[in-house]
Amino acid sequence: MAASSSGLDGLVVAETELSEVDGEQGRLVIRGFDVEVLAERSEFEDVCHLLWKGALPSAAEKAGLRARMGEARSAAYRLLPHLGDALTQADGMTALRAATGHLSASDPAAISIVGALPVFASAWLRATRGLPAIAPDPSLSLAADYLRMIGGELPQMALVQGMDAYLVTVSDHGMNASTFAARVVASTASDDVSAVVAGICALKGPLHGGAPGPVLDMLDAIGAAEQAEAWLEQALAQGERIMGFGHRIYRVRDPRAAVFEQAIERLQAQNVASPRLALARAVERAAEGALRARHPERPLHTNVEFYTAVLLDTVGLPRELFTPTFAVARAAGWCAHIAEQRRAGRLIRPESRYVGPPPLSRVAALA
Ligand code: COA
């Protein structure tokens, strides 16, 4: 039997045309485009088309996809009264998991699912605040309508651009844990909704997509740049992991951190203040120093979640929505991977090495 690795580090489990993560160079390519290029020029619908169809859309294709995404949001909104207690869950990812399970497995999956998630996430947030859900406006882009369904007003263009930059940038990222989970379920010939629910379940954890809310909590707890070093030293001395740092693949700074910093700078240039950017940069410097001192052999830099927190905060999202918003974006990648896995057509079924007690003889077992 092959050597085991409890985290499957370095193991190639699929061939994919969807995205490539170069952890040494700090480069992310999505279907032939550097993520920096996509984030600067594309809306989320463009990248959905890229992931699902293999090319950026023509103007007519984009209009068609945008309209169908709008219809999917309206269909999800009509489903809200039938979601039972899904939207009264205390945690947004638990709500999303439950609500997504109500989608019909036979729908044309990708558009229905990706269209539904922002409706569920915004309705959940409003329910936690005792507010009614806001009906989608199918004429808007998904990013604009998502912000409108959260806040109740048509958002200014700068915020929509910030949201698009976020959604585009995190839409896919190689064989991350949630994508793997979705592909495992798809490989059993289960339905697309079940595979996406598996992705949501994996993304929920703080070692994957659950970190950006805690990142903001950490920035609040640190409070001021001059307290960063002492705060981080104490956290590390207590054996805590610093949220938003470290990555299984990247040995350099996660390229998406720089994309988000630029998106924040663009927002600032359009007079949208970023309340925590300066503090975040100071904490990043202090954390890198503290982590280098403790793990000189292991480069630990900012991962996507650190500046996710700062960008989504600047766009005006409450921290409870950070991970559900990650799910909205990554669902585009999950759906593309689910389709690719189906084409591969092979059950994912690795092995384990038994290290339990040796079997008793039948006679001894019955005695
Ligand atoms: N803070 C402090 N120490 C960290 C760390 C962090 N954020 N990330 C890794 N380390 C340390 C580990 O404690 C370990 O030290 P040890 O060998 O003395 O036990 C060493 O670095 C290697 O970590 P390992 O667990 O092997 O790395 P991994 O590839 O399994 O983990 C993450 C990757 C993302 C799970 C990990 O870096 C982490 O927990 N980060 C914080 C959570 C986070 O930001 N999640 C979002 C990910 S995008």
What per-residue confidence (pLDDT) applies to 362?
73
- Count Cα neighbours of 287 within 13 Å in the Cβ-side half-sphere: 24
Q: What's the token pair of residue 259? A: 């994309």
Q: Would you state the torsion angle of the CA atoms of residues 61, 67, 73, 79, taken in this order, to the nearest 10 degrees?
A: -110
Let me know if 261 is a catalytic residue.
Answer: no
- Count Cα neighbours of 124 within 13 Å in the Cβ-side half-sphere: 32
Q: In what order do the strands lie in the sheet with 27-30?
A: 19-22, 27-30, 33-34
- Tokens 């949501």 — which residue? 200
Beta bridge partners of 33: 30
Q: Using CA positions, which residue lies closest to atom 16 of ligand 1?
A: 295
Let me know if 288 is a catalytic residue.
Answer: no
Q: Using CA positions, which residue lies closest to atom 35 of ligand 1?
A: 207
Helix, strand, or coil here: 270?
coil
State the Cα–Cα distance between residues 117 and 348, nearest whole angstrom. 27
Ligand 1 centroid vs 308 CA: distance in angstroms? 18
Catalytic position from the list 288, 305, 320, 337:
305
Strands 33-34 and 19-22: unpaired
Q: In the predicted model, is pLDDT for residue 107 greater than 70?
A: no
What per-residue confidence (pLDDT) applies to 211?
87
- Residue 79: pLDDT band (50, 70, 90) is very high
Q: In the predicted model, is pLDDT for residue 149 greater than 60?
A: yes
What per-residue confidence (pLDDT) applies to 3?
57
State the Cα–Cα distance between residues 141 and 137, nearest whole angstrom. 9
Ligand 1 centroid vs 254 CA: distance in angstroms? 14
Q: Using CA positions, which residue lies closest to atom 17 of ligand 1?
A: 295
Q: What's the token pair of residue 54? A: 């293999």
pTM of the model: 0.94
How many percent of the chain have pLDDT more than 90?
A: 90
Other CB atoms within 10 A of residue 175 CB: 18
State the Cα–Cα distance between residues 253 and 251, nearest whole angstrom. 7
What per-residue confidence (pLDDT) applies to 367?
67
Tens digit of pLDDT for each residue in 1-27? 555 678 898 889 999 999 999 999 999
> Which residues form the pocket of ligand 1, taking CB atoms under 6 Å from any ligand atom?
7, 206-208, 211, 241-248, 291, 295, 298, 300, 303-305
First to last CA, the chain: 34
Contact between residue 329 and residue 170 where contact means Cβ atoms under 8 Å apart: yes
Atom of ligand 1 nearest to the CA of 241: 1
Beta bridge partners of 302: 245
What per-residue confidence (pLDDT) applies to 109?
85
Other CB atoms within 10 A of residue 127 CB: 18
Q: What's the token pair of residue 41? A: 């020029």
Q: Using CA positions, which residue lies closest to atom 15 of ligand 1?
A: 295
Arithmetic mean of pLDDT, 144-162? 97
Ligand 1 centroid vs 72 CA: distance in angstroms? 38
Ligand 1: which of 241, 243, 284 to mutate, most ligand atoms within 8 Å of CB? 241
**Residue 241: alpha-carbon gap to chain centroid:** 20
Helix, strand, or coil here: 209?
coil
Arithmetic mean of pLDDT, 323-334? 98
Atom of ligand 1 nearest to the CA of 304: 48
Quick one: CA dihedral 159, 73, 113, 30, positive or negative? Answer: negative
